[in-house]
Structure 1
């Protein structure tokens, strides 16, 4: 046994930190945590790119086509749309991480406040849809199991 292997084995026998970090569950949780972070980053980046790649100017769309140019320019400046794209992306990431999602262009209210107002109804709808899906899936699954004699009829 090498020195590090002996030290690790000794720590495992004693229940030390090396035994905990070497656990398959810890590796599994770390891998899943990394996948979660990567998935969230891809989602946030994709939403940022979709917002910036759609045709048209969001400021012009919210103010209307007849809005004066100086008003459009000042609104673009206040929203940071004149900054380079990479800087807008950094500000977007900072806002998502800190929970500052900005102001709604249509209602002039904080986006987080608008989400908070609609969240209870969204959760209620999701729970009802889940219960309805279970109410349909469980009887159908049982019926398929009984009618096909445990799946044997499907294999013929």
Structure 2
């Protein structure tokens, strides 16, 4: 199924990847105005997730990541699969919780960061055995080090 909004989100993502954070932020802001806070949950989740990445203020980044999580909570697998047949909403949560944990860490709230890290570690089973999944697991390992979570503990390994 063709999805013009997802195509526009992808265009904004390409701006960000190419180094044009301001251009991506403008593109995403215009799209958010168009779809609104009550729009399609897939659009809101993807857009908020990427908008967070182009914010300069950690509090703004947190607000966008919270919007992405809220949208994911209202998203169904059926809707996600209308966009791409392989998508399952449970696969979104490892990245969403990782981003929230990092946001809280940046803001100095290490307890909230550790709580999000724990929630996210519990969702890693939704990831595939592919480069994306490996990258997310490695990011959890790196964040554990920044948060002072002992990665050699049995609890840490059990959540992989």
Q: What interval of TM-score do these two structures reach, taking the shorter chain for normalisation? A: under 0.3
What is the TM-score when the length of structure 1 is the normalising length?
0.22
Structure with the larger RCO, 1 or 2 (CA within 8 Å, 6+ apart): 2
What is the TM-score when the length of structure 2 is the normalising length?
0.22
- Whose radius of gyration is greater, 1 or 2? 1
